Structure 1
Protein backbone atom coordinates (compact mmCIF):
# COMPACT_ATOMS: atom_id res chain seq x y z
CA UNK A 1 0.00 0.00 0.00
CA UNK A 2 2.77 2.41 0.84
CA UNK A 3 4.61 1.87 -2.42
CA UNK A 4 1.54 2.37 -4.52
CA UNK A 5 0.72 5.56 -2.61
CA UNK A 6 4.20 6.91 -3.27
CA UNK A 7 3.87 6.08 -6.95
CA UNK A 8 0.56 7.91 -7.18
CA UNK A 9 2.06 11.02 -5.55
CA UNK A 10 5.04 10.88 -7.90
CA UNK A 11 2.85 10.69 -10.98
CA UNK A 12 0.75 13.60 -9.71
CA UNK A 13 3.80 15.76 -9.04
CA UNK A 14 5.36 15.15 -12.46
CA UNK A 15 2.17 15.70 -14.51
CA UNK A 16 2.11 18.97 -16.50
CA UNK A 17 -0.16 21.74 -15.30
CA UNK A 18 -3.30 22.31 -17.35
CA UNK A 19 -3.18 25.40 -19.67
CA UNK A 20 -5.51 28.15 -18.54
CA UNK A 21 -7.74 29.52 -21.32
CA UNK A 22 -8.28 33.24 -21.69
CA UNK A 23 -11.80 34.32 -21.13
CA UNK A 24 -13.79 35.43 -24.16
CA UNK A 25 -13.97 38.91 -22.68
CA UNK A 26 -10.16 39.26 -22.52
CA UNK A 27 -9.71 37.92 -26.06
CA UNK A 28 -12.28 40.31 -27.49
CA UNK A 29 -10.70 43.24 -25.69
CA UNK A 30 -7.28 42.43 -27.12
CA UNK A 31 -8.77 42.18 -30.62
CA UNK A 32 -10.34 45.62 -30.29
CA UNK A 33 -7.04 47.11 -29.11
CA UNK A 34 -5.22 45.56 -32.06
CA UNK A 35 -7.80 46.83 -34.53
CA UNK A 36 -7.61 50.36 -33.15
CA UNK A 37 -3.83 50.28 -33.40
CA UNK A 38 -3.92 49.21 -37.06
CA UNK A 39 -6.54 51.79 -37.94
CA UNK A 40 -4.60 54.55 -36.23
CA UNK A 41 -1.40 53.68 -38.06
CA UNK A 42 -3.21 53.58 -41.41
CA UNK A 43 -5.30 56.73 -41.05
CA UNK A 44 -3.18 59.12 -38.98
CA UNK A 45 0.37 60.34 -39.06
CA UNK A 46 2.65 59.68 -36.17
CA UNK A 47 3.48 62.73 -34.14
CA UNK A 48 6.47 63.42 -31.89
CA UNK A 49 7.56 60.54 -29.65
CA UNK A 50 5.21 58.17 -31.49
CA UNK A 51 2.00 59.96 -30.53
CA UNK A 52 -0.86 59.82 -33.06
CA UNK A 53 -2.15 63.00 -34.69
CA UNK A 54 -5.73 63.56 -35.83
CA UNK A 55 -7.01 63.38 -39.44
CA UNK A 56 -5.06 65.28 -42.05
CA UNK A 57 -6.37 68.56 -43.45
CA UNK A 58 -7.32 66.78 -46.67
CA UNK A 59 -9.27 64.16 -44.72
CA UNK A 60 -11.10 66.86 -42.77
CA UNK A 61 -12.06 68.66 -45.99
CA UNK A 62 -13.31 65.41 -47.52
CA UNK A 63 -15.37 64.63 -44.44
CA UNK A 64 -16.98 68.07 -44.60
CA UNK A 65 -18.65 67.15 -47.89
CA UNK A 66 -18.32 68.33 -51.52
CA UNK A 67 -17.00 71.83 -52.19
CA UNK A 68 -19.18 72.35 -55.27
CA UNK A 69 -22.88 72.71 -54.61
CA UNK A 70 -25.00 72.13 -57.71
CA UNK A 71 -27.95 74.20 -56.47
CA UNK A 72 -26.69 77.55 -55.11
CA UNK A 73 -29.33 79.75 -53.53
CA UNK A 74 -28.01 83.16 -54.68
CA UNK A 75 -25.95 84.49 -57.61
CA UNK A 76 -23.83 87.56 -58.32
CA UNK A 77 -22.52 88.27 -61.83
CA UNK A 78 -19.40 90.17 -62.87
CA UNK A 79 -18.01 90.91 -66.31
CA UNK A 80 -18.62 93.05 -69.37
CA UNK A 81 -21.33 94.09 -71.83
CA UNK A 82 -22.33 90.52 -72.65
CA UNK A 83 -23.45 89.95 -69.07
CA UNK A 84 -25.23 93.36 -69.10
CA UNK A 85 -27.25 92.32 -72.16
CA UNK A 86 -25.96 95.28 -74.18
CA UNK A 87 -27.70 95.73 -77.57
CA UNK A 88 -29.90 92.70 -76.93
CA UNK A 89 -33.16 94.64 -76.58
CA UNK A 90 -32.50 97.94 -78.36
CA UNK A 91 -29.59 99.83 -79.85
CA UNK A 92 -26.78 101.07 -77.62
CA UNK A 93 -28.60 100.24 -74.37
CA UNK A 94 -27.94 97.75 -71.57
CA UNK A 95 -30.71 95.21 -71.09
CA UNK A 96 -29.85 93.31 -67.90
CA UNK A 97 -33.27 91.65 -67.79
CA UNK A 98 -32.10 89.36 -70.64
CA UNK A 99 -28.65 88.69 -69.13
CA UNK A 100 -27.64 85.04 -69.41
CA UNK A 101 -26.49 85.15 -65.77
CA UNK A 102 -29.09 87.06 -63.75
CA UNK A 103 -31.84 88.18 -66.13
CA UNK A 104 -35.55 87.70 -65.47
CA UNK A 105 -36.76 87.42 -69.09
CA UNK A 106 -38.89 84.29 -69.49
CA UNK A 107 -37.61 83.69 -73.03
CA UNK A 108 -33.95 83.67 -72.01
CA UNK A 109 -34.40 81.73 -68.76
CA UNK A 110 -31.13 82.92 -67.25
CA UNK A 111 -28.90 80.85 -65.03
CA UNK A 112 -30.50 82.53 -62.01
CA UNK A 113 -34.01 81.65 -63.18
CA UNK A 114 -33.03 78.06 -63.90
CA UNK A 115 -31.36 77.60 -60.52
CA UNK A 116 -33.53 79.73 -58.23
CA UNK A 117 -36.87 80.05 -59.98
CA UNK A 118 -38.28 83.33 -61.34
CA UNK A 119 -39.40 84.83 -58.02
CA UNK A 120 -36.21 84.15 -56.11
CA UNK A 121 -34.03 85.14 -59.09
CA UNK A 122 -35.51 88.64 -58.86
CA UNK A 123 -34.48 89.02 -55.20
CA UNK A 124 -31.39 86.82 -54.83
CA UNK A 125 -29.28 87.69 -57.89
CA UNK A 126 -27.15 90.78 -58.55
CA UNK A 127 -25.47 92.02 -61.74
CA UNK A 128 -22.25 93.98 -61.22
CA UNK A 129 -20.98 93.69 -64.81
CA UNK A 130 -20.36 96.92 -66.73
CA UNK A 131 -20.41 97.55 -70.46
CA UNK A 132 -16.91 98.05 -71.81
CA UNK A 133 -15.20 96.45 -68.79
CA UNK A 134 -11.82 94.84 -69.13
CA UNK A 135 -9.94 92.64 -66.70
CA UNK A 136 -8.59 95.76 -64.95
CA UNK A 137 -12.10 96.47 -63.64
CA UNK A 138 -12.69 92.94 -62.38
CA UNK A 139 -11.16 93.30 -58.88
CA UNK A 140 -13.55 96.14 -58.08
CA UNK A 141 -16.51 94.18 -59.42
CA UNK A 142 -15.49 91.19 -57.30
CA UNK A 143 -15.41 93.38 -54.21
CA UNK A 144 -18.96 94.51 -54.93
CA UNK A 145 -20.11 90.95 -55.56
CA UNK A 146 -18.57 89.76 -52.28
CA UNK A 147 -20.73 92.23 -50.34
CA UNK A 148 -23.84 90.37 -51.55
CA UNK A 149 -22.57 87.18 -49.88
CA UNK A 150 -23.64 85.11 -52.91
CA UNK A 151 -23.31 81.34 -53.02
CA UNK A 152 -22.24 81.55 -56.69
CA UNK A 153 -20.36 84.23 -58.65
CA UNK A 154 -20.35 84.10 -62.47
CA UNK A 155 -17.45 85.59 -64.42
CA UNK A 156 -17.34 86.48 -68.13
CA UNK A 157 -14.47 88.80 -68.99
CA UNK A 158 -11.74 89.19 -71.59
CA UNK A 159 -13.41 90.05 -74.89
CA UNK A 160 -12.73 93.77 -74.45
CA UNK A 161 -9.09 93.05 -73.59
CA UNK A 162 -8.68 91.59 -77.08
CA UNK A 163 -11.13 93.94 -78.83
CA UNK A 164 -9.03 97.10 -79.06
CA UNK A 165 -8.45 99.75 -81.71
CA UNK A 166 -5.21 97.97 -82.53
CA UNK A 167 -3.87 94.50 -81.84
CA UNK A 168 -0.75 96.16 -80.44
CA UNK A 169 -2.61 97.46 -77.39
CA UNK A 170 -4.38 94.28 -76.35
CA UNK A 171 -3.93 93.46 -72.67
CA UNK A 172 -0.69 91.47 -72.25
CA UNK A 173 -1.25 87.90 -71.11
CA UNK A 174 0.88 88.31 -67.99
CA UNK A 175 -1.16 91.36 -66.96
CA UNK A 176 -4.38 89.47 -67.61
CA UNK A 177 -3.17 86.68 -65.34
CA UNK A 178 -2.07 89.00 -62.54
CA UNK A 179 -5.38 90.88 -62.59
CA UNK A 180 -7.48 87.71 -62.59
CA UNK A 181 -5.48 86.36 -59.66
CA UNK A 182 -6.00 89.67 -57.85
CA UNK A 183 -9.73 89.45 -58.57
CA UNK A 184 -9.94 85.99 -57.03
CA UNK A 185 -8.03 87.18 -53.97
CA UNK A 186 -10.39 90.13 -53.66
CA UNK A 187 -13.37 87.79 -53.63
CA UNK A 188 -11.81 85.27 -51.28
CA UNK A 189 -10.93 87.96 -48.75
CA UNK A 190 -14.62 88.69 -48.14
CA UNK A 191 -16.44 85.61 -49.44
CA UNK A 192 -14.16 82.61 -48.91
CA UNK A 193 -16.89 80.02 -49.50
CA UNK A 194 -18.51 81.47 -52.62
CA UNK A 195 -18.41 79.23 -55.68
CA UNK A 196 -17.13 80.76 -58.91
CA UNK A 197 -18.23 79.80 -62.42
CA UNK A 198 -15.85 81.15 -65.08
CA UNK A 199 -16.95 81.38 -68.69
CA UNK A 200 -14.41 81.20 -71.49
CA UNK A 201 -13.96 84.21 -73.76
CA UNK A 202 -16.08 83.82 -76.94
CA UNK A 203 -14.46 82.95 -80.26
CA UNK A 204 -13.89 86.34 -81.91
CA UNK A 205 -12.64 84.78 -85.13
CA UNK A 206 -15.95 82.99 -85.56
CA UNK A 207 -17.71 86.25 -84.78
CA UNK A 208 -15.88 87.88 -87.69
CA UNK A 209 -16.52 85.01 -90.11
CA UNK A 210 -20.21 84.81 -89.17
CA UNK A 211 -21.01 88.53 -88.97
CA UNK A 212 -19.25 89.51 -92.19
CA UNK A 213 -21.93 87.66 -94.13
CA UNK A 214 -24.37 90.43 -93.18
CA UNK A 215 -23.96 93.65 -95.14
CA UNK A 216 -25.61 95.80 -92.47
CA UNK A 217 -23.45 94.28 -89.77
CA UNK A 218 -20.28 95.15 -91.65
CA UNK A 219 -21.42 98.74 -92.01
CA UNK A 220 -21.93 98.97 -88.25
CA UNK A 221 -18.51 97.46 -87.62
CA UNK A 222 -16.99 100.35 -89.58
CA UNK A 223 -17.99 102.63 -86.71
CA UNK A 224 -15.06 101.15 -84.80
CA UNK A 225 -16.44 98.05 -83.08
CA UNK A 226 -13.63 95.66 -82.10
CA UNK A 227 -11.29 97.03 -84.76
CA UNK A 228 -8.49 94.60 -83.86
CA UNK A 229 -10.62 91.72 -85.19
CA UNK A 230 -13.50 93.26 -87.18
CA UNK A 231 -11.75 96.19 -88.85
CA UNK A 232 -11.63 95.96 -92.68
CA UNK A 233 -13.84 92.89 -92.49
CA UNK A 234 -13.51 92.03 -96.20
CA UNK A 235 -9.74 92.42 -96.31
CA UNK A 236 -8.20 88.98 -96.80
CA UNK A 237 -4.68 90.21 -97.44
CA UNK A 238 -1.69 88.84 -95.48
CA UNK A 239 -1.55 91.73 -93.00
CA UNK A 240 -5.25 91.51 -92.12
CA UNK A 241 -5.10 87.72 -91.82
CA UNK A 242 -2.05 87.98 -89.55
CA UNK A 243 -3.77 90.63 -87.39
CA UNK A 244 -6.86 88.49 -86.86
CA UNK A 245 -4.72 85.46 -86.08
CA UNK A 246 -2.85 87.46 -83.44
CA UNK A 247 -6.13 88.48 -81.79
CA UNK A 248 -7.35 84.90 -81.85
CA UNK A 249 -4.12 83.69 -80.26
CA UNK A 250 -4.57 86.24 -77.50
CA UNK A 251 -8.13 85.05 -76.81
CA UNK A 252 -6.88 81.46 -76.57
CA UNK A 253 -4.16 82.60 -74.17
CA UNK A 254 -6.70 84.44 -72.02
CA UNK A 255 -8.79 81.29 -71.80
CA UNK A 256 -5.75 79.31 -70.71
CA UNK A 257 -5.20 81.85 -67.93
CA UNK A 258 -8.83 81.61 -66.81
CA UNK A 259 -8.56 77.82 -66.74
CA UNK A 260 -5.23 77.72 -64.88
CA UNK A 261 -6.09 80.29 -62.21
CA UNK A 262 -9.52 78.77 -61.64
CA UNK A 263 -7.97 75.31 -61.24
CA UNK A 264 -5.99 76.54 -58.23
CA UNK A 265 -9.17 77.47 -56.36
CA UNK A 266 -11.11 74.49 -55.01
CA UNK A 267 -14.44 76.32 -55.32
CA UNK A 268 -13.93 77.53 -58.88
CA UNK A 269 -15.22 75.82 -62.04
CA UNK A 270 -14.12 76.82 -65.56
CA UNK A 271 -16.50 75.98 -68.40
CA UNK A 272 -13.88 73.88 -70.19
CA UNK A 273 -13.95 76.21 -73.20
CA UNK A 274 -17.66 75.59 -73.85
CA UNK A 275 -18.51 79.20 -74.74
CA UNK A 276 -15.43 79.55 -76.95
CA UNK A 277 -16.32 76.30 -78.73
CA UNK A 278 -20.02 77.10 -79.23
CA UNK A 279 -20.81 77.21 -82.97
CA UNK A 280 -23.09 80.23 -82.89
CA UNK A 281 -24.79 81.59 -86.00
CA UNK A 282 -26.23 84.97 -86.97
CA UNK A 283 -29.43 84.01 -85.15
CA UNK A 284 -27.62 84.35 -81.83
CA UNK A 285 -26.18 87.83 -82.58
CA UNK A 286 -27.68 91.23 -81.87
CA UNK A 287 -29.50 92.62 -84.91
CA UNK A 288 -28.22 96.08 -83.95
CA UNK A 289 -24.49 95.42 -84.00
CA UNK A 290 -23.84 91.82 -85.11
CA UNK A 291 -21.35 91.54 -82.28
CA UNK A 292 -23.09 91.12 -78.92
CA UNK A 293 -25.44 88.22 -78.22
CA UNK A 294 -29.12 88.91 -78.86
CA UNK A 295 -31.88 87.29 -76.83
CA UNK A 296 -31.30 83.93 -78.48
CA UNK A 297 -27.57 84.17 -77.87
CA UNK A 298 -28.15 85.05 -74.23
CA UNK A 299 -30.40 82.00 -73.88
CA UNK A 300 -27.69 79.76 -75.35
CA UNK A 301 -25.16 81.15 -72.85
CA UNK A 302 -27.61 80.45 -70.02
CA UNK A 303 -28.03 76.86 -71.21
CA UNK A 304 -24.28 76.30 -71.26
CA UNK A 305 -23.81 77.82 -67.81
CA UNK A 306 -26.63 75.80 -66.26
CA UNK A 307 -25.27 72.59 -67.73
CA UNK A 308 -21.77 73.26 -66.38
CA UNK A 309 -22.85 74.50 -62.94
CA UNK A 310 -25.16 71.54 -62.29
CA UNK A 311 -22.87 68.84 -63.70
CA UNK A 312 -21.74 66.23 -61.20
CA UNK A 313 -18.11 66.66 -62.29
CA UNK A 314 -16.24 69.71 -63.60
CA UNK A 315 -15.48 69.89 -67.34
CA UNK A 316 -12.45 67.88 -68.39
Structure 2
Protein backbone atom coordinates (compact mmCIF):
# COMPACT_ATOMS: atom_id res chain seq x y z
CA UNK A 1 0.00 0.00 0.00
CA UNK A 2 2.80 2.45 0.85
CA UNK A 3 4.50 1.96 -2.56
CA UNK A 4 1.20 2.51 -4.33
CA UNK A 5 0.55 5.68 -2.33
CA UNK A 6 4.01 7.01 -3.16
CA UNK A 7 3.44 6.36 -6.85
CA UNK A 8 0.11 8.19 -6.71
CA UNK A 9 1.65 11.26 -5.05
CA UNK A 10 4.42 11.31 -7.65
CA UNK A 11 1.91 11.21 -10.50
CA UNK A 12 -0.14 14.02 -8.95
CA UNK A 13 3.00 16.13 -8.60
CA UNK A 14 3.84 15.69 -12.27
CA UNK A 15 0.30 16.65 -13.32
CA UNK A 16 0.30 19.71 -11.04
CA UNK A 17 3.63 20.86 -12.45
CA UNK A 18 2.32 20.53 -16.00
CA UNK A 19 -0.83 22.50 -15.18
CA UNK A 20 1.14 25.31 -13.53
CA UNK A 21 3.52 25.52 -16.47
CA UNK A 22 0.66 25.77 -18.95
CA UNK A 23 -1.09 28.43 -16.84
CA UNK A 24 2.09 30.51 -16.75
CA UNK A 25 2.36 30.52 -20.57
CA UNK A 26 -1.29 31.47 -21.05
CA UNK A 27 -1.08 34.34 -18.60
CA UNK A 28 1.66 36.00 -20.56
CA UNK A 29 0.22 35.39 -24.02
CA UNK A 30 2.99 32.94 -24.94
CA UNK A 31 6.44 32.02 -23.75
CA UNK A 32 8.02 35.25 -25.07
CA UNK A 33 5.22 37.62 -24.06
CA UNK A 34 5.07 38.84 -27.67
CA UNK A 35 1.70 37.29 -28.44
CA UNK A 36 -0.12 40.24 -26.86
CA UNK A 37 1.84 42.87 -28.72
CA UNK A 38 4.29 43.47 -25.90
CA UNK A 39 8.07 43.51 -25.90
CA UNK A 40 9.71 40.08 -25.92
CA UNK A 41 11.28 38.93 -22.71
CA UNK A 42 8.73 40.41 -20.32
CA UNK A 43 7.62 38.20 -17.41
CA UNK A 44 4.62 36.05 -18.29
CA UNK A 45 3.36 35.51 -14.75
CA UNK A 46 0.33 37.77 -15.21
CA UNK A 47 -1.77 39.14 -18.09
CA UNK A 48 -0.25 42.12 -19.89
CA UNK A 49 -2.36 44.88 -21.49
CA UNK A 50 -2.66 45.20 -25.25
CA UNK A 51 -1.62 48.88 -25.04
CA UNK A 52 2.04 49.47 -24.20
CA UNK A 53 2.41 52.83 -22.44
CA UNK A 54 6.17 52.97 -23.10
CA UNK A 55 6.82 52.09 -26.77
CA UNK A 56 10.46 51.86 -27.79
CA UNK A 57 10.22 53.56 -31.21
CA UNK A 58 7.79 55.77 -33.11
CA UNK A 59 7.01 57.30 -36.48
CA UNK A 60 4.78 60.25 -37.38
CA UNK A 61 2.57 60.84 -40.42
CA UNK A 62 0.38 63.79 -41.30
CA UNK A 63 0.63 67.35 -42.56
CA UNK A 64 2.38 70.68 -41.91
CA UNK A 65 1.48 70.72 -38.22
CA UNK A 66 3.54 67.59 -37.64
CA UNK A 67 6.34 69.07 -39.79
CA UNK A 68 6.43 72.10 -37.47
CA UNK A 69 5.78 74.49 -40.36
CA UNK A 70 6.30 78.16 -39.39
CA UNK A 71 7.10 77.20 -35.79
CA UNK A 72 10.68 78.48 -35.83
CA UNK A 73 11.22 80.16 -39.22
CA UNK A 74 9.00 81.91 -41.75
CA UNK A 75 7.52 79.76 -44.52
CA UNK A 76 9.69 76.80 -43.55
CA UNK A 77 9.30 73.32 -42.12
CA UNK A 78 10.77 73.10 -38.62
CA UNK A 79 10.81 69.36 -37.89
CA UNK A 80 13.01 70.05 -34.88
CA UNK A 81 9.98 71.84 -33.37
CA UNK A 82 7.47 69.11 -34.22
CA UNK A 83 5.16 68.04 -31.41
CA UNK A 84 5.67 64.42 -32.51
CA UNK A 85 9.38 63.88 -33.16
CA UNK A 86 11.14 67.21 -32.62
CA UNK A 87 14.33 67.79 -30.63
CA UNK A 88 13.51 71.36 -29.51
CA UNK A 89 13.72 71.47 -25.70
CA UNK A 90 11.02 74.16 -25.61
CA UNK A 91 8.58 71.76 -27.26
CA UNK A 92 9.53 68.56 -25.40
CA UNK A 93 8.07 66.39 -28.15
CA UNK A 94 6.23 63.12 -27.70
CA UNK A 95 9.30 61.23 -28.92
CA UNK A 96 11.55 62.90 -26.35
CA UNK A 97 9.03 62.28 -23.56
CA UNK A 98 8.72 58.59 -24.45
CA UNK A 99 12.22 57.72 -25.65
CA UNK A 100 14.51 60.35 -24.13
CA UNK A 101 16.66 62.74 -26.13
CA UNK A 102 19.06 60.08 -27.43
CA UNK A 103 16.31 57.56 -28.10
CA UNK A 104 14.23 60.13 -29.99
CA UNK A 105 17.18 60.96 -32.23
CA UNK A 106 17.76 57.30 -33.06
CA UNK A 107 14.31 55.71 -32.96
CA UNK A 108 11.77 58.28 -34.16
CA UNK A 109 10.98 59.27 -37.76
CA UNK A 110 8.82 61.99 -39.30
CA UNK A 111 7.06 61.16 -42.59
CA UNK A 112 4.54 64.02 -42.49
CA UNK A 113 4.42 66.35 -45.50
CA UNK A 114 3.38 70.00 -45.53
CA UNK A 115 0.16 70.39 -47.51
CA UNK A 116 -0.82 66.72 -47.20
CA UNK A 117 -4.45 65.67 -47.07
CA UNK A 118 -5.97 62.44 -45.84
CA UNK A 119 -5.62 60.90 -49.31
CA UNK A 120 -1.84 61.18 -48.86
CA UNK A 121 -1.84 59.22 -45.60
CA UNK A 122 -1.76 55.69 -47.08
CA UNK A 123 1.45 56.52 -48.94
CA UNK A 124 3.04 57.99 -45.83
CA UNK A 125 2.11 54.90 -43.83
CA UNK A 126 3.68 52.70 -46.50
CA UNK A 127 6.93 54.62 -46.00
CA UNK A 128 6.71 54.58 -42.21
CA UNK A 129 6.15 50.83 -41.81
CA UNK A 130 9.62 50.17 -43.23
CA UNK A 131 10.99 51.41 -39.91
CA UNK A 132 8.73 48.99 -38.00
CA UNK A 133 7.82 51.56 -35.29
CA UNK A 134 6.09 50.41 -32.13
CA UNK A 135 3.95 53.58 -32.17
CA UNK A 136 2.57 55.54 -35.13
CA UNK A 137 1.13 59.04 -34.65
CA UNK A 138 -1.47 60.46 -37.03
CA UNK A 139 -2.51 64.10 -37.40
CA UNK A 140 -4.25 64.90 -40.68
CA UNK A 141 -7.46 66.47 -41.91
CA UNK A 142 -7.03 70.24 -41.60
CA UNK A 143 -6.04 70.55 -45.26
CA UNK A 144 -9.12 68.57 -46.28
CA UNK A 145 -11.28 71.33 -44.83
CA UNK A 146 -8.96 74.22 -45.73
CA UNK A 147 -9.80 74.48 -49.41
CA UNK A 148 -10.48 77.34 -51.82
CA UNK A 149 -14.20 76.91 -51.14
CA UNK A 150 -16.52 74.75 -49.08
CA UNK A 151 -17.46 72.86 -52.25
CA UNK A 152 -13.84 71.78 -52.64
CA UNK A 153 -13.60 70.21 -49.17
CA UNK A 154 -12.90 66.47 -49.13
CA UNK A 155 -16.18 64.50 -48.95
CA UNK A 156 -16.57 62.67 -45.65
CA UNK A 157 -16.88 59.30 -47.41
CA UNK A 158 -13.59 59.86 -49.24
CA UNK A 159 -11.94 60.95 -46.01
CA UNK A 160 -13.09 57.75 -44.32
CA UNK A 161 -11.94 55.56 -47.20
CA UNK A 162 -8.45 57.08 -47.17
CA UNK A 163 -8.04 56.75 -43.41
CA UNK A 164 -9.29 53.17 -43.47
CA UNK A 165 -6.87 52.42 -46.31
CA UNK A 166 -4.00 53.81 -44.24
CA UNK A 167 -4.98 51.69 -41.24
CA UNK A 168 -5.37 48.60 -43.41
CA UNK A 169 -1.89 49.08 -44.86
CA UNK A 170 -0.45 49.47 -41.39
CA UNK A 171 -2.15 46.35 -40.09
CA UNK A 172 -1.12 44.27 -43.10
CA UNK A 173 2.52 45.07 -42.39
CA UNK A 174 2.58 45.62 -38.61
CA UNK A 175 -0.35 43.99 -36.78
CA UNK A 176 0.90 45.04 -33.34
CA UNK A 177 2.03 48.62 -33.91
CA UNK A 178 0.06 51.07 -31.76
CA UNK A 179 -1.57 54.16 -33.25
CA UNK A 180 -2.24 57.55 -31.68
CA UNK A 181 -4.75 59.62 -33.66
CA UNK A 182 -5.06 63.36 -33.00
CA UNK A 183 -8.30 65.15 -33.77
CA UNK A 184 -8.44 67.87 -36.41
CA UNK A 185 -7.98 71.29 -34.75
CA UNK A 186 -10.88 73.70 -34.28
CA UNK A 187 -10.55 75.94 -37.35
CA UNK A 188 -13.37 78.22 -36.27
CA UNK A 189 -11.62 79.01 -33.02
CA UNK A 190 -8.46 79.67 -35.01
CA UNK A 191 -10.39 82.25 -37.06
CA UNK A 192 -11.85 83.79 -33.90
CA UNK A 193 -8.44 84.12 -32.23
CA UNK A 194 -6.35 85.13 -35.23
CA UNK A 195 -8.71 87.78 -36.59
CA UNK A 196 -7.88 90.01 -33.63
CA UNK A 197 -4.42 90.56 -35.11
CA UNK A 198 -4.21 92.93 -38.12
CA UNK A 199 -0.99 91.31 -39.34
CA UNK A 200 -2.54 87.88 -39.16
CA UNK A 201 -5.48 88.93 -41.30
CA UNK A 202 -3.11 90.40 -43.89
CA UNK A 203 -1.26 87.11 -44.10
CA UNK A 204 -4.50 85.16 -44.40
CA UNK A 205 -5.32 87.16 -47.53
CA UNK A 206 -2.44 85.42 -49.25
CA UNK A 207 -4.64 82.30 -49.38
CA UNK A 208 -4.29 80.51 -46.04
CA UNK A 209 -7.34 78.29 -45.45
CA UNK A 210 -9.71 80.48 -47.50
CA UNK A 211 -12.75 78.31 -46.79
CA UNK A 212 -12.57 79.40 -43.14
CA UNK A 213 -10.26 82.42 -43.02
CA UNK A 214 -11.20 84.23 -46.22
CA UNK A 215 -12.84 87.66 -45.64
CA UNK A 216 -11.97 87.34 -41.97
CA UNK A 217 -13.96 90.41 -40.89
CA UNK A 218 -17.10 89.48 -42.81
CA UNK A 219 -19.99 88.69 -40.49
CA UNK A 220 -22.85 88.62 -42.97
CA UNK A 221 -25.14 85.60 -43.26
CA UNK A 222 -23.21 84.07 -46.17
CA UNK A 223 -19.87 84.29 -44.30
CA UNK A 224 -21.40 82.76 -41.18
CA UNK A 225 -22.89 79.89 -43.18
CA UNK A 226 -19.56 79.28 -44.92
CA UNK A 227 -17.65 79.03 -41.65
CA UNK A 228 -20.34 76.86 -40.13
CA UNK A 229 -20.07 74.44 -43.06
CA UNK A 230 -16.32 74.19 -42.60
CA UNK A 231 -16.74 73.63 -38.88
CA UNK A 232 -19.35 70.93 -39.45
CA UNK A 233 -17.02 69.18 -41.88
CA UNK A 234 -14.17 69.21 -39.36
CA UNK A 235 -16.49 67.71 -36.76
CA UNK A 236 -17.51 65.02 -39.27
CA UNK A 237 -13.86 64.25 -39.96
CA UNK A 238 -13.22 63.84 -36.25
CA UNK A 239 -16.16 61.46 -35.99
CA UNK A 240 -14.56 59.36 -38.75
CA UNK A 241 -11.20 59.32 -36.96
CA UNK A 242 -12.92 58.24 -33.75
CA UNK A 243 -15.02 55.51 -35.40
CA UNK A 244 -12.26 53.93 -37.50
CA UNK A 245 -9.83 54.02 -34.59
CA UNK A 246 -12.40 52.46 -32.24
CA UNK A 247 -12.46 49.31 -34.41
CA UNK A 248 -8.77 48.70 -33.74
CA UNK A 249 -7.81 47.69 -30.21
CA UNK A 250 -4.31 49.07 -30.69
CA UNK A 251 -5.51 52.52 -31.75
CA UNK A 252 -6.20 55.45 -29.44
CA UNK A 253 -8.08 58.58 -30.54
CA UNK A 254 -7.49 61.67 -28.41
CA UNK A 255 -11.18 62.04 -27.61
CA UNK A 256 -11.27 65.42 -29.44
CA UNK A 257 -8.66 66.83 -27.05
CA UNK A 258 -6.86 68.76 -29.82
CA UNK A 259 -10.15 70.03 -31.23
CA UNK A 260 -11.38 71.08 -27.77
CA UNK A 261 -8.12 72.73 -26.65
CA UNK A 262 -8.77 76.40 -25.83
CA UNK A 263 -5.70 77.75 -27.58
CA UNK A 264 -4.93 81.46 -27.77
CA UNK A 265 -2.69 83.65 -29.89
CA UNK A 266 0.35 82.51 -27.90
CA UNK A 267 -0.10 79.07 -29.44
CA UNK A 268 -0.22 80.44 -33.02
CA UNK A 269 2.75 81.12 -35.28
CA UNK A 270 3.62 84.80 -35.35
CA UNK A 271 4.32 84.45 -39.08
CA UNK A 272 1.00 83.13 -40.33
CA UNK A 273 -1.39 83.05 -37.32
CA UNK A 274 -2.53 79.63 -38.46
CA UNK A 275 0.07 76.97 -37.70
CA UNK A 276 1.09 76.21 -34.10
CA UNK A 277 3.95 78.17 -32.60
CA UNK A 278 6.58 76.37 -30.54
CA UNK A 279 4.28 76.93 -27.57
CA UNK A 280 1.40 75.43 -29.53
CA UNK A 281 3.55 72.48 -30.57
CA UNK A 282 4.37 71.88 -26.90
CA UNK A 283 0.67 71.80 -26.05
CA UNK A 284 0.07 69.22 -28.78
CA UNK A 285 2.92 67.12 -27.36
CA UNK A 286 1.31 67.27 -23.91
CA UNK A 287 -2.03 66.07 -25.24
CA UNK A 288 -0.41 63.22 -27.16
CA UNK A 289 1.72 62.10 -24.22
CA UNK A 290 -1.28 62.15 -21.91
CA UNK A 291 -3.26 59.98 -24.31
CA UNK A 292 -0.47 57.51 -25.06
CA UNK A 293 0.50 56.97 -21.42
CA UNK A 294 -2.99 56.87 -19.93
CA UNK A 295 -3.91 53.61 -18.21
CA UNK A 296 -7.18 53.53 -20.13
CA UNK A 297 -8.14 54.99 -23.52
CA UNK A 298 -10.17 58.20 -23.60
CA UNK A 299 -13.87 57.41 -23.38
Give TM-score scaled by structure 2 length. 0.86
Aligned residues: 269
Return the alpha-carbon distance in structure 2 between the equivalents of residues 201 and 140 of structure 1.
Answer: 20
Return the alpha-carbon distance in structure 1 between the equivalents of residues 81 and 58 of structure 2.
Answer: 15
Match of 1:147 in 2: 130
CA deviation after TM superposition for structure 1 residue 191, in Å: 1.2
RMSD (CA atoms): 2.3
Q: Are 1:129 and 2:115 counterparts?
A: no
Return the alpha-carbon distance in structure 2 between the equivalents of residues 93 and 156 of structure 1.
Answer: 19
Secondary structure at the aligned position of 1:153 is classed as strand
Rg comparison, structure with higher value: 1
CA deviation after TM superposition for structure 1 residue 65, in Å: 2.4
CA deviation after TM superposition for structure 1 residue 64, in Å: 5.9
Match of 2:63 in 1: 80
Return the alpha-carbon distance in structure 2 between the equivalents of residues 114 and 82 of structure 1.
Answer: 19
Match of 2:76 in 1: 93
Q: Are 1:294 and 2:277 counterparts?
A: yes
Return the alpha-carbon distance in structure 2 between the equivalents of residues 92 and 107 of structure 1.
Answer: 20
Match of 2:165 in 1: 182
Deviation per CA, 1:35-61: give whole Å up to 9, x if none: x9xxxxxxxxxxxxxxxxx99x9xx96
CA deviation after TM superposition for structure 1 residue 192, in Å: 1.2
Match of 1:259 in 2: 242
Return the alpha-carbon distance in structure 2 between the equivalents of residues 148 and 294 of structure 1.
Answer: 29
Match of 1:225 in 2: 208
Q: Are 1:194 and 2:177 counterparts?
A: yes
Match of 1:161 in 2: 144
Return the alpha-carbon distance in structure 1 between the equivalents of residues 118 and 36 of structure 2.
Answer: 32
Residue in structure 2 matching 1:277, options 260, 268, 289? 260
Unaligned regions of 5+ residues in structure 1, if any?
Answer: 1-24, 37-53
Return the alpha-carbon distance in structure 2 between the equivalents of residues 151 and 192 of structure 1.
Answer: 10
Q: Are 1:69 and 2:69 counterparts?
A: no
Deviation per CA, 1:102-151: give whole Å up to 9, x if none: 00011100000001000110110000000000001000000111111000
Secondary structure at the aligned position of 1:269 is classed as strand
Deviation per CA, 1:211-262: give whole Å up to 9, x if none: 0000000000001100000000000000000000000000000000000000
Secondary structure at the aligned position of 1:117 is classed as helix
Residue in structure 1 matching 2:197, options 190, 214, 232? 214
Return the alpha-carbon distance in structure 1 between the equivalents of residues 176 and 36 of structure 2.
Answer: 13
Return the alpha-carbon distance in structure 2 between the equivalents of residues 148 and 204 of structure 1.
Answer: 33
Unaligned regions of 5+ residues in structure 2, if any?
Answer: 17-25, 30-34, 38-45
